[in-house]
Amino acid sequence: MPHNKNKIKILIAKPGLDGHDRGAKVVAQALKDAGMEVIYSGLHKTIDQIINIAIQEDVDFIGLSIMTGAHIPITEKLMKKLKEKGIEDKKVFVGGVIPSKDIPKLKELGVEGVFPGGTPLQETIEFIKNKTKTP
Partnered with residue 11 across adjacent β-strands are 39, 62
Question: 80-99: which residues touch another protein (CB under 8 A)?
Answer: 97, 99
Distance CA 121, CA 47 (A): 25
Q: How far lies 130's CA from each of 24, 37, 67, in Å?
A: 21, 16, 26
Of the listed pieces 19-27, 55-63, 87-95, 127-135, which binds another protein according to CB under 8 A?
19-27
Distance CA 46, CA 8 (A): 24
Using rule CB under 8 A, residue 104 touches another protein: no
What kind and span of H or E run contains 66?
A: strand 61-66
Per-residue contact flags (x/-) with another protein for residues 108 to 127, judged by CB under 8 A:
--------xxx-xxx-----
Of the listed pieces 16-24, 57-65, 85-93, 107-115, which binds another protein according to CB under 8 A?
16-24
Contacting another protein (CB under 8 A), which of 9, 11, 16, 111?
16
* 32 vs 81 by CB, closer to another protein: 32
- Total of residues contacting another protein (CB under 8 A): 34
Which residues have CB under 8 Å from 18's CB, separation 6+? 43, 66, 67, 68
* 40 vs 93 by CB, closer to another protein: 40
